[in-house]
Amino acid sequence: MQVRSYKKGVIATLVGSFLGPKLYDETNVYKAAATAMALDTIYPDYQVPIRFKNPVLGAFANAVWQCSTAAEVGVILNTAEQKADGGTPPRRSGGRPPSVDGASPEPAIFIEARNSLEGIPKEYAALEAKFGKKDVDWKVVERFLVEPGDGRVLEKFILSARGRREVIHFDVSGFVRANGLEEQARLNRVTAKYDRSLKVLLPKDRAMYLLEIVLKLTDDQLEQIGWSVEVKNGLVGCLSDALKPFHGKDYKDIPPSYQVEMMLSQWSNIYVFVRMCEPRDIEQEDELEDLKAFIGGAVGKAKHGN
Protein backbone atom coordinates (compact mmCIF):
# COMPACT_ATOMS: atom_id res chain seq x y z
CA MET A 1 0.00 0.00 0.00
CA GLN A 2 1.42 3.36 -1.07
CA VAL A 3 0.15 6.91 -0.73
CA ARG A 4 1.84 9.59 -2.77
CA SER A 5 1.43 13.32 -3.24
CA TYR A 6 1.61 15.40 -6.38
CA LYS A 7 4.12 18.25 -6.35
CA LYS A 8 1.31 20.75 -5.77
CA GLY A 9 0.47 19.00 -2.53
CA VAL A 10 -2.86 17.49 -3.63
CA ILE A 11 -3.26 13.80 -2.93
CA ALA A 12 -3.51 12.14 -6.32
CA THR A 13 -4.19 8.48 -5.67
CA LEU A 14 -3.60 5.72 -3.17
CA VAL A 15 -1.95 3.26 -5.49
CA GLY A 16 -0.38 3.22 -8.92
CA SER A 17 1.10 6.73 -9.11
CA PHE A 18 4.84 7.30 -9.40
CA LEU A 19 4.59 11.09 -9.01
CA GLY A 20 5.49 13.00 -5.88
CA PRO A 21 7.03 11.92 -2.57
CA LYS A 22 5.80 8.83 -0.73
CA LEU A 23 3.67 9.75 2.25
CA TYR A 24 3.04 6.13 3.28
CA ASP A 25 4.69 2.93 2.06
CA GLU A 26 3.90 -0.47 3.56
CA THR A 27 4.50 -3.74 1.68
CA ASN A 28 3.20 -5.96 4.51
CA VAL A 29 -0.55 -6.37 3.85
CA TYR A 30 -1.25 -7.26 7.48
CA LYS A 31 0.38 -4.06 8.75
CA ALA A 32 -1.54 -2.05 6.15
CA ALA A 33 -4.76 -3.69 7.34
CA ALA A 34 -3.89 -2.84 10.97
CA THR A 35 -3.34 0.77 9.94
CA ALA A 36 -6.72 0.75 8.16
CA MET A 37 -8.43 -0.50 11.34
CA ALA A 38 -6.75 2.28 13.32
CA LEU A 39 -7.86 4.86 10.75
CA ASP A 40 -11.46 3.64 11.11
CA THR A 41 -11.17 4.31 14.85
CA ILE A 42 -9.78 7.81 14.32
CA TYR A 43 -12.25 8.69 11.54
CA PRO A 44 -15.52 6.87 12.32
CA ASP A 45 -17.54 9.16 10.00
CA TYR A 46 -17.13 8.12 6.36
CA GLN A 47 -17.05 11.35 4.33
CA VAL A 48 -15.72 10.21 0.93
CA PRO A 49 -18.44 10.70 -1.72
CA ILE A 50 -17.76 7.28 -3.28
CA ARG A 51 -17.67 3.81 -1.73
CA PHE A 52 -14.76 1.39 -2.12
CA LYS A 53 -15.31 -2.36 -2.24
CA ASN A 54 -11.92 -2.85 -0.56
CA PRO A 55 -12.34 -1.82 3.11
CA VAL A 56 -8.62 -1.09 3.52
CA LEU A 57 -8.63 1.25 0.53
CA GLY A 58 -11.81 2.86 1.84
CA ALA A 59 -10.27 3.53 5.27
CA PHE A 60 -7.19 5.14 3.71
CA ALA A 61 -9.27 7.23 1.29
CA ASN A 62 -11.51 8.44 4.14
CA ALA A 63 -8.49 9.48 6.22
CA VAL A 64 -6.86 11.29 3.30
CA TRP A 65 -10.16 13.06 2.53
CA GLN A 66 -10.31 14.52 6.03
CA CYS A 67 -6.73 15.85 6.15
CA SER A 68 -6.02 19.45 5.22
CA THR A 69 -2.46 19.04 3.88
CA ALA A 70 -0.24 16.35 2.39
CA ALA A 71 2.08 16.70 5.37
CA GLU A 72 -0.82 15.95 7.70
CA VAL A 73 -1.65 12.87 5.59
CA GLY A 74 1.89 11.55 6.02
CA VAL A 75 1.79 12.04 9.78
CA ILE A 76 -1.66 10.49 10.28
CA LEU A 77 -1.03 7.41 8.14
CA ASN A 78 2.34 6.66 9.72
CA THR A 79 1.15 7.12 13.32
CA ALA A 80 -2.43 5.83 13.07
CA GLU A 81 -1.91 2.77 15.28
CA GLN A 82 -0.32 4.80 18.09
CA LYS A 83 -3.07 7.44 17.90
CA ALA A 84 -5.80 4.82 17.93
CA ASP A 85 -4.27 3.13 20.99
CA GLY A 86 -4.30 6.44 22.81
CA GLY A 87 -7.88 7.25 21.88
CA THR A 88 -9.43 9.34 19.13
CA PRO A 89 -7.86 12.80 18.90
CA PRO A 90 -10.02 15.83 19.66
CA ARG A 91 -12.16 17.01 16.76
CA ARG A 92 -12.66 20.41 15.25
CA SER A 93 -15.93 21.52 13.77
CA GLY A 94 -16.17 19.89 10.36
CA GLY A 95 -15.09 16.46 11.60
CA ARG A 96 -11.32 16.84 11.03
CA PRO A 97 -8.65 16.26 13.68
CA PRO A 98 -6.48 19.22 14.63
CA SER A 99 -3.90 20.05 11.94
CA VAL A 100 -0.45 18.68 12.69
CA ASP A 101 1.55 21.34 10.87
CA GLY A 102 4.66 21.58 13.06
CA ALA A 103 4.57 25.39 13.06
CA SER A 104 5.24 25.39 16.82
CA PRO A 105 6.71 22.84 19.27
CA GLU A 106 3.30 21.72 20.57
CA PRO A 107 1.97 20.25 17.28
CA ALA A 108 5.40 19.01 16.16
CA ILE A 109 5.25 16.47 13.33
CA PHE A 110 6.12 13.08 14.77
CA ILE A 111 8.66 11.04 12.77
CA GLU A 112 8.67 7.30 13.36
CA ALA A 113 12.03 5.76 12.48
CA ARG A 114 14.70 3.42 13.85
CA ASN A 115 17.60 5.86 13.44
CA SER A 116 18.62 9.12 11.74
CA LEU A 117 19.44 7.50 8.42
CA GLU A 118 15.82 6.36 8.23
CA GLY A 119 14.25 9.35 9.98
CA ILE A 120 15.88 12.29 8.21
CA PRO A 121 14.60 11.31 4.71
CA LYS A 122 11.09 11.16 6.23
CA GLU A 123 11.51 14.72 7.51
CA TYR A 124 12.44 15.91 4.03
CA ALA A 125 9.56 13.96 2.47
CA ALA A 126 7.16 15.77 4.82
CA LEU A 127 8.73 19.12 3.92
CA GLU A 128 8.41 18.37 0.19
CA ALA A 129 4.78 17.38 0.67
CA LYS A 130 4.13 20.70 2.41
CA PHE A 131 6.28 23.16 0.43
CA GLY A 132 7.19 21.54 -2.89
CA LYS A 133 10.51 20.46 -4.35
CA LYS A 134 13.62 20.91 -2.21
CA ASP A 135 16.15 23.46 -3.51
CA VAL A 136 13.56 24.64 -6.06
CA ASP A 137 10.57 25.76 -4.00
CA TRP A 138 12.39 25.94 -0.67
CA LYS A 139 15.81 25.77 0.98
CA VAL A 140 16.96 25.02 4.51
CA VAL A 141 18.35 28.12 6.21
CA GLU A 142 19.09 26.41 9.53
CA ARG A 143 18.22 23.24 11.46
CA PHE A 144 18.98 22.34 15.06
CA LEU A 145 17.76 20.22 17.98
CA VAL A 146 15.43 21.64 20.64
CA GLU A 147 14.36 20.13 23.98
CA PRO A 148 11.09 21.78 25.10
CA GLY A 149 11.35 20.29 28.60
CA ASP A 150 8.54 17.75 28.28
CA GLY A 151 10.77 14.77 27.53
CA ARG A 152 10.66 15.21 23.77
CA VAL A 153 13.53 16.02 21.41
CA LEU A 154 12.50 18.21 18.49
CA GLU A 155 14.31 19.21 15.34
CA LYS A 156 13.55 22.77 14.28
CA PHE A 157 13.85 23.64 10.58
CA ILE A 158 14.01 27.26 9.43
CA LEU A 159 13.24 27.43 5.71
CA SER A 160 13.13 29.99 2.97
CA ALA A 161 10.05 28.99 0.98
CA ARG A 162 8.79 31.12 -1.89
CA GLY A 163 10.34 34.23 -0.42
CA ARG A 164 8.95 33.64 3.07
CA ARG A 165 10.49 32.42 6.31
CA GLU A 166 8.87 29.19 7.47
CA VAL A 167 9.50 27.30 10.73
CA ILE A 168 8.67 23.60 11.09
CA HIS A 169 9.20 21.36 14.13
CA PHE A 170 9.62 17.59 13.97
CA ASP A 171 9.39 15.30 16.98
CA VAL A 172 12.49 13.13 16.54
CA SER A 173 12.53 11.69 20.06
CA GLY A 174 12.28 8.11 18.85
CA PHE A 175 15.04 7.94 16.30
CA VAL A 176 17.46 10.37 17.98
CA ARG A 177 17.44 8.18 21.06
CA ALA A 178 17.79 5.09 18.87
CA ASN A 179 21.12 6.29 17.51
CA GLY A 180 22.91 4.69 20.45
CA LEU A 181 26.24 2.98 20.60
CA GLU A 182 24.61 -0.46 20.55
CA GLU A 183 23.32 0.10 17.02
CA GLN A 184 26.67 1.53 15.94
CA ALA A 185 28.47 -1.48 17.42
CA ARG A 186 26.15 -3.84 15.55
CA LEU A 187 26.93 -2.15 12.24
CA ASN A 188 30.64 -2.18 13.04
CA ARG A 189 30.55 -5.94 13.66
CA VAL A 190 28.86 -6.52 10.32
CA THR A 191 31.35 -4.41 8.35
CA ALA A 192 34.51 -5.33 10.30
CA LYS A 193 35.43 -8.42 8.29
CA TYR A 194 35.15 -6.48 5.01
CA ASP A 195 36.88 -3.35 6.27
CA ARG A 196 40.19 -2.21 4.83
CA SER A 197 42.30 0.88 4.40
CA LEU A 198 41.38 3.21 1.54
CA LYS A 199 43.21 6.28 0.21
CA VAL A 200 41.13 9.00 -1.45
CA LEU A 201 42.68 11.89 -3.39
CA LEU A 202 40.88 15.10 -2.41
CA PRO A 203 41.39 18.71 -3.50
CA LYS A 204 43.09 20.47 -0.60
CA ASP A 205 40.32 23.04 -0.10
CA ARG A 206 37.67 20.29 0.05
CA ALA A 207 39.75 18.13 2.38
CA MET A 208 40.33 21.04 4.76
CA TYR A 209 36.66 21.99 4.63
CA LEU A 210 35.74 18.41 5.55
CA LEU A 211 38.11 18.54 8.53
CA GLU A 212 36.54 21.83 9.63
CA ILE A 213 32.92 20.63 9.59
CA VAL A 214 33.74 17.34 11.38
CA LEU A 215 35.71 19.24 14.04
CA LYS A 216 32.74 21.56 14.67
CA LEU A 217 30.22 18.76 15.31
CA THR A 218 28.56 19.26 18.70
CA ASP A 219 27.47 16.52 21.10
CA ASP A 220 23.84 17.05 20.06
CA GLN A 221 24.75 16.70 16.40
CA LEU A 222 26.78 13.56 17.10
CA GLU A 223 23.76 12.05 18.83
CA GLN A 224 21.57 13.00 15.90
CA ILE A 225 23.72 11.26 13.29
CA GLY A 226 24.53 8.30 15.53
CA TRP A 227 28.26 8.89 16.05
CA SER A 228 30.15 8.55 19.29
CA VAL A 229 32.87 11.01 20.27
CA GLU A 230 35.39 8.24 19.50
CA VAL A 231 34.07 7.98 15.93
CA LYS A 232 34.43 11.75 15.47
CA ASN A 233 37.94 11.78 16.96
CA GLY A 234 39.01 8.92 14.71
CA LEU A 235 37.86 10.81 11.61
CA VAL A 236 39.53 14.03 12.78
CA GLY A 237 42.74 12.08 13.40
CA CYS A 238 42.81 10.63 9.87
CA LEU A 239 42.03 13.98 8.25
CA SER A 240 44.71 15.69 10.36
CA ASP A 241 47.32 12.98 9.67
CA ALA A 242 46.97 13.65 5.95
CA LEU A 243 48.24 17.19 6.56
CA LYS A 244 51.35 16.15 8.50
CA PRO A 245 53.67 16.00 5.42
CA PHE A 246 52.91 19.70 4.85
CA HIS A 247 53.49 20.87 8.42
CA GLY A 248 55.08 24.32 8.47
CA LYS A 249 54.25 25.09 4.83
CA ASP A 250 52.08 27.95 3.62
CA TYR A 251 48.70 27.07 2.12
CA LYS A 252 49.92 27.99 -1.38
CA ASP A 253 52.81 25.52 -1.05
CA ILE A 254 50.52 22.55 -0.32
CA PRO A 255 49.78 20.52 -3.49
CA PRO A 256 46.35 21.20 -5.11
CA SER A 257 45.26 17.69 -4.04
CA TYR A 258 46.52 15.24 -1.45
CA GLN A 259 45.63 11.74 -0.27
CA VAL A 260 43.61 11.06 2.86
CA GLU A 261 43.77 7.53 4.25
CA MET A 262 41.22 5.92 6.54
CA MET A 263 39.25 2.70 6.79
CA LEU A 264 36.49 1.98 4.29
CA SER A 265 33.92 2.01 7.12
CA GLN A 266 35.09 5.51 8.12
CA TRP A 267 34.75 6.76 4.55
CA SER A 268 31.25 5.26 4.45
CA ASN A 269 30.38 7.22 7.60
CA ILE A 270 31.76 10.41 6.06
CA TYR A 271 29.83 9.85 2.82
CA VAL A 272 26.52 9.38 4.65
CA PHE A 273 27.28 12.45 6.75
CA VAL A 274 27.98 14.81 3.82
CA ARG A 275 24.80 13.62 2.12
CA MET A 276 22.86 14.66 5.23
CA CYS A 277 24.47 18.11 5.46
CA GLU A 278 22.46 21.14 4.41
CA PRO A 279 24.48 23.93 2.72
CA ARG A 280 24.17 27.49 4.01
CA ASP A 281 24.90 29.04 0.61
CA ILE A 282 25.86 28.23 -2.99
CA GLU A 283 29.58 28.06 -2.19
CA GLN A 284 29.03 25.53 0.57
CA GLU A 285 26.67 23.58 -1.69
CA ASP A 286 29.47 23.24 -4.28
CA GLU A 287 31.89 22.05 -1.60
CA LEU A 288 29.49 19.38 -0.37
CA GLU A 289 28.63 18.20 -3.88
CA ASP A 290 32.33 17.82 -4.70
CA LEU A 291 32.90 15.80 -1.51
CA LYS A 292 29.94 13.54 -2.34
CA ALA A 293 31.36 12.91 -5.81
CA PHE A 294 34.96 12.22 -4.73
CA ILE A 295 34.14 10.10 -1.68
CA GLY A 296 31.11 8.36 -3.14
CA GLY A 297 33.06 7.33 -6.23
CA ALA A 298 36.01 6.01 -4.22
CA VAL A 299 33.81 4.09 -1.77
CA GLY A 300 31.73 2.63 -4.59
CA LYS A 301 34.80 1.34 -6.42
CA ALA A 302 36.27 -0.10 -3.23
CA LYS A 303 33.07 -1.93 -2.34
CA HIS A 304 32.89 -3.48 -5.81
CA GLY A 305 36.52 -4.58 -5.63
CA ASN A 306 37.80 -2.21 -8.32
**Distance, CA of 63 to CA of 188 (rounded, Å):** 41
**Beta strand spans in 226-289 (E):** 257-263
End-to-end CA gap in the chain: 39
Cβ burial of 249 (10 Å; 0-12, 13-18, 19+) is exposed
Confidence of residue 190 (pLDDT cuts 50, 70, 90): low
Burial class of 155 by CB neighbour count within 10 A (0 to 12, 13 to 18, 19+) = buried
pLDDT for residue 257 is more than 60: yes
Residue range 112-167, pLDDT digits in tens = 877 776 778 888 888 888 888 888 888 888 777 788 888 888 888 888 888 888 99
Whether 197 shows a pLDDT value over 50: the answer reads yes
Q: For the segment 5-31, what is each residue's pLDDT rounded down to a tens digit? A: 544 333 333 333 333 456 677 666 667
Q: How far apart are CA 101 and CA 106, in angstroms?
A: 10
pLDDT tens digits, 69-116: 766 777 788 887 766 555 444 333 333 333 457 888 888 898 887 777
Overall pTM surpassing 0.95 (yes/no): no
Helix axes 116-131, 70-85, angle to 10 degrees: 130
pLDDT band at 57; cut points 50, 70, 90: confident
Q: Are 89 and 97 in contact (CB under 8 A)?
A: yes
